Chain A
């Protein structure tokens, strides 16, 4: 007979392990972005801020001078499966869900919530036309953004003519966030895609889009520090804009990563509004950058006034930044660094 030893240690290990897992389950499903908070306010040229967190988090306070751009506070998301889309399928991580247009947009909405951007409306092609027309009629374009990731605009707002609804809306102050393909190269009818000649001039006043097959960038954009300040991550410049080829009468801001003159993110002025192009096919990095740009309120004339970083651990940290001056100031606070868990934008 072999001697029987106690199996009590095994029971203890099992109970401890199950406790770790069950406690973790509670933590996972009770954690929320509301566990964090941020406040900021300007007194003269002194910005006071306060950041709170459960747990330990790095934080960044990015103060921007946005020139004539006042940001937007509501977002239309175009999604209409009765119209063709024009984007490339992409490989995803092993075991991950296929990254199609629907899943991408679902994630954008989920990621904008902890970034304190809540006014989001899905629109199909007809609703998009009505929404833009409504903004034009009410002079509300300046407070609206439009996200299009289908790679093609529908014929209800764009048919390749300079007087299309989309251009009127942009002139009136609308902000268009675009990714997935060459902006404006085609428009969509319910029957298919229609090619547009001179589409680059229509949107940018010059040929400046990446049609050369330069896909990947390995350097950061020079001239501003937004790549680090906003923890930008996508280094694809496919379909991207070369800001230097945009006419001088249109302000532009190139940020992120660059190759061959093209930048992973470029914001270009269009009348009172702007067009923001994110390079690359669908990716998680690109999606992260998109929500970071939308929630940061960045515009084509934005420049960094100051960046302050620090750590907050189970409590509140306060700080003050002096010498904050500019024409349209904002303070963008986010927690988590390259793994953001909470963002908040303050127009000062």
Chain B
């Protein structure tokens, strides 16, 4: 019961301990400095477009702009009301001087540039959620170890992680919301709050689809945890009710107006669009790989449910990391790796320091991968302040994209090199897991 344990906030202890506050302050300063100067215009412009679409009465799907399930659009609904109440009136402009950046084929650079104020306002949302994710990591590690120092290390590994900062603070992508909802699901599962767990997971899966795949491991956790007390069925029923309730609530506008398919149209168009026969092959290959990943996910869940029941919480955390890593064996863009990151951090702190190797590889690789926008990240500052000239941004962009030594453009080293490192990091997560598991001598599931 909530009333069982009183809620206390005391400076110097718990999440408000000194080292956490120092990391928090440092992380926020880095975020605001980075966020002020650097913005990926392509996606942040889209958020402004989505807001104007629904403000003009066209909801989320009547005109192009929102290419996701509706939940992120709803967050933008509340954001727009608050931001406009505070006087944010200009979201961005199409800058004629910046048009040359759209001339690079194959790169999503946009001369539709959000203002620095709009971009920072959106990013502030992500920063707040980053803190909440950090708190969730802190809470889980403390719950497992009763050691606040370890929990603080976990918080720091998240909050100062360069690609976590880059994804929200530069890219303006909202994956940190998905991560938070997933971690809340884990906390509620660990504390037997199954209705809330289902609600959180349902909302997470409707923000980005990947957390939905983790449901099987979570079901296995409930079966494992309640193997002997007969509470598994009511727990799963509660979770199911919570999950379905949130899905219905989130999708009710589209259900009522008969446009439900619009919410999921992006699933079939994420791969291969505009690529003709090659595109079709990529689409089929995508579905084939995801089918294989789905099969592995089911196998993981099956083995987990049938494994040792000595430490279900530890097993859950480990299997979520493994499942997330398996999920991203289909190469992902940098922002998706955020879902894997908290579970990897927890393994570093909770089970084996060898997990720091994939963490470091990901920290380098995914950050490089997330910097594909190179000098175009400065477009907002160049367009709306006098701090950087547009000519310098264009020259910088050109330098990054012009083939140099061995005919390789610097951006290729950063972007594709980063992508390769990210993939290696993902594989290393699974390799270290296999190593740790073999060392611990467990068969079906790891001892945590």
Which A positions have Cβ atoms within 8 angstroms of B?
2-11, 13-14, 17-18, 20-29, 31-35, 55-58, 89-99, 106-107, 110-111, 113-114, 216-220, 227, 231, 233, 235, 257, 284-285, 311, 313-314, 336-342
- Is there an interface contact between A57 and B89, defined as CB atoms closer than 8 Å? yes
How far is A263 from B58 in the complex, measured between Cα atoms in Å?
30
Q: Across the two chains, which residue of chain B brings its CB closest to A103?
A: B64
Assess whether B51 is in contact with A314, with CB atoms less than 8 Å apart: no
Q: Given contacts A25-B77, A257-B96, are A341 and B52 in contact (CB under 8 A)? A: yes
Given A10-B187, A314-B85 in contact, is the A24-B265 Cβ separation under 8 Å? no
Q: Give the complex CA separation of A342 and B132 in angstroms.
A: 37
What separation, in Å, do the CA atoms of A289 and B112 have in the docked complex?
Answer: 14
18 pairs from A and B in contact (CB 8 Å cutoff): A2-B143, A4-B143, A6-B5, A7-B5, A9-B135, A9-B139, A25-B77, A25-B249, A29-B253, A92-B273, A92-B274, A94-B269, A114-B56, A114-B58, A216-B99, A219-B96, A257-B96, A339-B92
Q: Are A107 and B48 within 8 A (Cβ)?
A: no
Cβ–Cβ contact B57 & A3, under 8 A: no
Q: Is the CB of A96 within 8 A of B84?
A: no
Top 10 A-B pairs ranked by shortest CB distance? A24-B77, A95-B67, A339-B52, A55-B84, A24-B74, A95-B266, A91-B274, A27-B77, A6-B5, A114-B56
**A313:B74 contact, CB within 8 angstroms:** no
Q: Contacts A97-B269, A231-B94 hold; do A2 and B57 have CB atoms under 8 A apart?
A: no
| Chain A residues whose CB sits within 8 angstroms of the CB of B52 once the complex forms | 336, 339-341
Given contacts A55-B84, A58-B89, A90-B274, contact A113 B57 (CB under 8 A): yes
Judge if B406 is at the interface, Cβ distance under 8 Å: no
Q: Which residues of A contact B100 (CB under 8 A)?
A: 218
Q: Known: A22-B74, A111-B63. Is A340-B142 also a contact (CB below 8 A)?
A: no
B184 and A13: CB pair below 8 A? yes
B-side contacts of A10, CB under 8 Å: 136, 139, 184, 187-188
Instruction: Specify which of B78, B87, B112, B193 lies most central, judged by the most chain A CB atoms within 10 Å of its CB.
Output: B78
B266 pairs with A14, CB closer than 8 A: no
In the complex, the answer to whether B78 meets A20 with C-beta atoms within 8 Å is yes
Q: Are A21's CB and B143's CB within 8 A?
A: no
Is the beta-carbon distance between B274 and A89 smaller than 8 angstroms? yes
Contact residue among A3, A26, A338, A340 (Cβ-Cβ distance under 8 Å from B146):
A3
In the complex, what residues of A have CB within 8 A of residue B78's CB? Answer: 20-21, 23-24, 27
A111–B54 CA distance with the chains assembled, in angstroms: 11
State A20–B81 Cα separation when bound (angstroms). Answer: 11
Chain B 1-35: CB-based contact to A (< 8 A → 1; otherwise 0)? 01001111000001100000000000000000000
List 16 additional A-B contacts (Cβ < 8 Å) besides A10-B184, A24-B76, A113-B58. A4-B143, A7-B139, A17-B181, A22-B249, A24-B75, A29-B54, A92-B273, A96-B269, A96-B273, A111-B56, A113-B57, A114-B57, A216-B103, A311-B89, A338-B94, A341-B56
On whether A31 and B57 interact (CB within 8 A), knowing A7-B191, A107-B62, A339-B49, the answer reads: yes
**Nearest-CB residue, chain B, relative to A310:** B89
Bound state CA distance, A35 and B52, in angstroms?
12
**Residues in B whose Cβ lies below 8 Å from that of A235:** 99, 102
| Assembly CA distance A202 to B423 (angstroms) | 59
Q: Which residues from A are CB-within-8-Å of B73? A: 24, 28
Residues of B bordering A, CB below 8 Å:
2, 5-8, 14-15, 46, 48-49, 51-52, 54-60, 62-65, 67-68, 70-71, 73-81, 83-94, 96, 99-100, 102-103, 108, 112, 132, 135-136, 139, 142-146, 177, 180-181, 184, 187-188, 191, 193, 196, 199-200, 203, 246, 249-250, 253, 262, 265-266, 269-270, 273-274
Q: Is the CB of B77 within 8 A of A14?
A: no
Contact residue among A9, A95, A220 (Cβ-Cβ distance under 8 Å from B96): A220
Cross-interface CB contact of A313 among B87, B181, B266, cutoff 8 Å: B87
Task: Tell me which residues across on chain A come within 8 A of B8, comparing CB atoms.
Answer: 6
Most-contacted residue by chain A among B8, B57, B142 (CB, 10 A): B57
With known contacts A4-B143, A95-B270, A219-B96, A337–B90 Cβ distance under 8 A: yes
A342 to B266, CA, bound (A): 28
Residues of chain B lying within 8 A (CB to CB) of residue A34:
57
Residue of A nearest to B313 (CB): A2
Question: Complex formed: what's the CA distance from A220 to B2 in Å?
Answer: 62
Name the B residues within 8 Å of A219 (CB-CB): 96
Asked if A55 and B57 make an inter-chain contact with CB atoms under 8 angstroms apart, the answer reads no
Q: Is B64 a contact of A107 with CB atoms below 8 Å?
A: yes
A33 near B56 (CB under 8 angstroms)?
yes
The distance from the CB of A134 to the nearest CB of chain B, in whole angstroms, is 31
- A residues near B273, Cβ cutoff 8 Å: 91-92, 94, 96, 98
CB distance from A93 to the nearest CB of B (A): 6
Nearest CB to that of B57 among chain A residues? A32
Closest-by-CB residue of A relative to B147 is A2
Contact B5 A8 (CB under 8 A): yes
B362 to chain A, nearest CB (A): 22
The reply to whether A7 and B193 form a contact with Cβ atoms under 8 Å apart is yes
Do A97 and B265 touch (CB < 8 A)? yes
User: Which of A18, A29, A220, A227: most chain B CB closer than 10 A?
Assistant: A29
Q: B90 to chain A: which residues have CB within 8 Å? A: 58, 337
Residues of B within 8 A of A233 (CB): 94, 112
**Considering the chains assembled together, what is the distance between the CA atoms of A111 and B85 in angstroms?**
25
Q: How far does the alpha carbon of A150 sit from the alpha carbon of B266 in the complex, in Å?
A: 25
